Structure 1
Amino acid sequence: MKTILFINLRSHKVERIQPLIEAKELGYKVVLVTDKNPNLVSNYLDEIIYTDTYNTDQTLEKVLTYAKENKIDGVCTWSDKDVELVSIIAEKLKLPGINPQIVKNARNKYDMRLAFSKVKGISPKFGKVNNEKNLNELVKEIGMPGILKPVGASGSKGIFKIENSENINETYNTLLNATSPTKDKVYSYYPNEYIYEEYLEGNEVSVEGLVQNNKVFIVGITDKDVTNTFSLEYIAIFPSSKNEEIKEEIKEKAKLAIKSLGINNCAFHLEGRVTKKGFKVIECAARPGGGFITSHLIKMSSGHSFIKRILKMSTGEDISEDWPNFEQGEKKACFYSLMAKRDGIFKMSMG
């Protein structure tokens, strides 16, 4: 029996439990490293290691202590915050994973942009924000509208769209307050580091896949839409309805973007937009996509499990021999989030 280490789980209970179910279907022993009690999933767990996963040294010490008595075959995570921690654990235990020396390319959005900028035509204009004066200079240089965001957050946290020069300073100060590590620990990784970049007009998509032995495997493209304010995702449809020419362009540029980051032996979730000047990359996470894409949409549409391939890759199994065409399913699968305009209780009538 192989033992796989999960570093935390997704926040939504439905997404949280699916990787555990599929790990059990593969016959794996699942050990969860977590900050808190994983409600509703204990029946699927063999062991739990409680620790402060924001504290890398403490977590690493507990994992290495466990590994002295128990063989660990793989390690993975399902969200951005633990990507760097997973790379360190993988290196220490000699497991498949991203090299800790380059993992920042997939976590620090400024470093990520620097890597992307080596590939012609996939990045918007961008600049690092050091202070209020610097931001005003970047807005003049790059133009408006533009996106101001922290370099180390996830889940659309702290994304501000600047459309006129009158609210630049107010927006910057609001961002500083909203991204304080005292309010959310996710900002403790790269505190007070921000990026301003050219706003991309066009339909948003994400590309799902994984990298094994430096080869990029693409599951498919997901059509998405986000709100104009704060870029909150509210719909995702897999597979994409874009025409074949556009899908081919997206996939080829996604592969170049992934390779520019240098990441390996990990899943990825790359986001971008189809603009009038072609496909442009927004950012890329070195973990599976959320929003029910990985946990439900891909399997519902294709009949094939992306999760099982992620788990096999994490434990060193060659996934190239069993890689299906995920985009040839007979149906599309969709996640749609209702955006409430006021407080209240939502009720559905089945009549």
Structure 2
Amino acid sequence: MIKNILTVGFPRQLIEALAHRDDLNFYVLEEEELYRNNRVAQYEYPIMKEVILTEYMHSEAFKDIVRELDARLKFSAVIPARDYAVRASATIAEMLGLPGLGEKAARCLTHKALLREICAEYNIPHPRFKKIESLKDLQEFVLDKPVIFKPANRQASLGISKIERREDIPDAWEYTTSAQEDGRRIVSTRQIPKEYIAEEYIEGFEVSIESFVQGGHPIFHNITVKTTGENFIELQHVAPGDLDPALQDSLIQHKENFIRALSVQDGTLHSEWKIDNGSPYIIECAGRTPGDCIVDLISESYQFNFYNEFCNLLCGETPQIQNHPTRVSAIRFFTPHPGVLKEIQGLETLQQPDIIAFNLTVKPGDTIAPLRSSWDRVGYFIVTAQSHKDLNHRIEDVLKQVTFVLEEATEYGKESDYAKSESFIR
């Protein structure tokens, strides 16, 4: 029996991962501007039947269109392709009586301040925070500890500032409030309200927890350990991470309390946590599949197709998942210094069998920009191994072999300075 699946936004990775299935038809709701900017028309998959142009970001223009489509197609599931699609997807699920996160969860997962308020109400450990509407609000919030100032309703580490001293406040205010997604192909330039939040900076390292929830009950958790660099940009993910069992148990308990607090019904949650002196604090949470190829890491380590089982879950079926990993996997992002790229050396090392995927988005002659957000990363490799020790050794080996060589002189510096330093942010 053919199942008709509605996606809000164009989920290229998901559709490619499910292209083998002959029992699915995908129908895509997309903003006209994003359809054009992302050149969606160039992608042709037998299972993608139609792209319907409408507004869904901070708009309810999609409702009548979805009702007409469902009367003709009778959808089996609705899937959000990105953060900015989560609320519309939850609304559609409720309209059509399909599995979904639920209205409360979707609302809180798309606004950082609402998420903090839920955490405070249900005693989920979180940083001290305040909604910020003016420079004065920010000045009053900053005390004697470092503070993070960021947009409350944006994604991809956009516009995040760390305030170490009160003298940093004016620059942080200017940087965060002027941050734009111009040229990014994930959000419409139609006017979307800008809101901000400040929170106390939590020291320690970062992890994420990827969960499946069905019928209000969590049925799968993976804990990914992250490495971040400047501007809080993620440089590496390891799934599952190498953590003390007691800490793993504590994280899962907090995540399940969080799921109950949000009244999550059906879907996947990608939550980010900081671990400070052994204590977890939730930082953010998204109500869609994780980015940065974490889906691929989980699929490789646990030996099931994450996208396939996520789709089955939202169709109301029982996902065929494994809760115990058989391998460990990592994605490492290439982060060379800024400059004009002359060549990339050592690419043959990326052809080894344990490198299950790699991608490079720059070529000789391109200018490598300073790393200000995750969009500025220039590529990655994904590697798998039997143990965390073997995995770490393999990552270090690849980083030594693959080097980015810059032109001798650029506006960012000279090749001699670059050659004497590490080629990657570690």
Q: Is the TM-score greater than 0.5? A: yes
Q: Name the structure 2 match of 1:276.
A: 277
Q: 1:203 is matched with which residue: 202, 205, 208?
A: 205
CA distance in 2, matches of 1:204, 1:328: 21
- Deviation track 1:250-293 (CA, whole Å, cap 9, x = no partner) reads 11111112222222212110000111151111111111111101
Name the CA shift for 1:181/1:38 in 2 (closer, same or farther; >3 Å).
Answer: closer
Paired position in structure 2 for 1:66: 69
Q: Give the equivalent residue in structure 1 for 2:312.
A: 312
- TM-score (norm. length: structure 1): 0.88
Which of 18, 25, 39 lines up with 2:21 in the alignment? 25
Amino acid at match of 2:89: V
**Does the residue aligned with 1:273 lie in a helix, a strand or coil?**
strand
Q: Secondary structure at the match of 1:72?
A: coil
Which residue pairs with 2:218 in the alignment?
A: 216
Alignment pair present for 1:51 and 2:54 = yes
Q: Find out whether 1:79 has 2:82 as its counterpart.
A: yes
More deviation, 164-173/174-183 = 174-183
Q: Which runs of 5+ in 1 are unaligned?
A: 11-15
CA distance in 2, matches of 1:186, 1:219: 33
Structure scoring higher RCO (CA < 8 A, sep ≥ 6) equals 1
Q: Which residue of 1 aligns with 2:97?
A: 94
Moved more, 332-341 or 183-192: 183-192
Residues 317/226 of structure 1: CA separation in 2 closer, same or farther (3 Å cut) = same
Which residue does 2:297 correspond to in 1?
297
The alignment partner of 2:142 has SS state of helix
Residue 57 of structure 1 aligns to a residue in which SS? coil
Identity %: 24
* 1:103-140 deviation per Cα after TM superposition (whole angstroms, max 9, x unaligned): 21111110100111134361111111121111111112
Deviation of residue 217 (structure 1)?
2.4
- Would you say how many aligned residue pairs link Structure 1 and Structure 2? 338
Query: Does 1:130 pair with 2:127?
Result: no
Three-state SS of the structure 1 residue aligned to 2:40 is: coil
Q: Distance in 2 between matches of 1:302 and 1:106?
A: 26
Q: Read off the aligned partner of 2:304 and give its amino acid letter.
A: H
In the alignment, the residues of structure 2 paired with residue 127 and residue 186 of structure 1 have an alpha-carbon distance, to the nearest angstrom, of: 27
CA distance 1:23–1:244, shift in 2 (3 Å)? farther
Cα contact 1:207–1:218 (8 A) shared by 2: no
How far off is 1:33 after superposition? 1.7
Give the CA RMSD over aligned residues: 2.4
Give the alignment's TM-score, normalised by structure 2: 0.74
Secondary structure in 2 aligned to 1:251? helix
- Counterpart of 2:195 (choices 180, 190, 193) is 193
Give the CA deviation at 1:58: 2.6
Map 1:129-278 to 2 at 5 A: 129-140=132-143, 143-179=144-180, 185=187, 191-227=193-229, 229-276=230-277, 278=279
Q: Of the candidates 320, 325, 330, which is equivalent to residue 328 of structure 1? A: 325
- In the alignment, the residues of structure 2 paired with residue 101 and residue 197 of structure 1 have an alpha-carbon distance, to the nearest angstrom, of 22
User: For 1:271-323, what per-residue CA distance to the aligned partner results, in whole angstroms no more than 9, with x for missing partners?
Assistant: 001111511111111111111011x111112211221221011111133xx34
Taking the aligned partners of 1:189 and 1:121, their CA distance within structure 2 comes to 33
Q: After the TM superposition, which parts of structure 1 deviate over 6 Å for at least 4 consecutive aligned residues?
A: 180-184, 186-190
CA change 1:17–1:180 in 2 (3 A) is: closer
Q: What is the rounded CA distance, in whole Å, between the counterparts of 2:183 and 2:294 in structure 1?
A: 31
CA contact (8 A) 1:108 1:190 kept: no
Distance 1:118 1:292, change over 3 A: same
CA radius of gyration, larger in: 2
Tell whether the 8 Å contact from 2:213 to 2:268 is kept in structure 1 after alignment.
Answer: yes
Which digits, 9 at most, give the CA deviation of each residue in 1:10-58, with x for residues without a partner?
Answer: 5xxxxx3344432642721111222314266312412221233336333
- Are the counterparts in 1 of residues 147 and 163 from structure 2 also a CA contact under 8 Å? yes
Change in CA separation of 1:189 and 1:303 when aligned onto 2, cut-off 3 Å: farther
CA distance in structure 2 between the aligned counterparts of 1:54 and 1:190, rounded to whole angstroms: 8
Work out the CA distance in 1 between the residues paired with 2:85 and 2:64.
16
Specify the alignment match of 1:13 in structure 2. Answer: none
Q: Which residue of 2 aligns with 1:117?
A: 120
How much does 1:187 deviate? 8.8
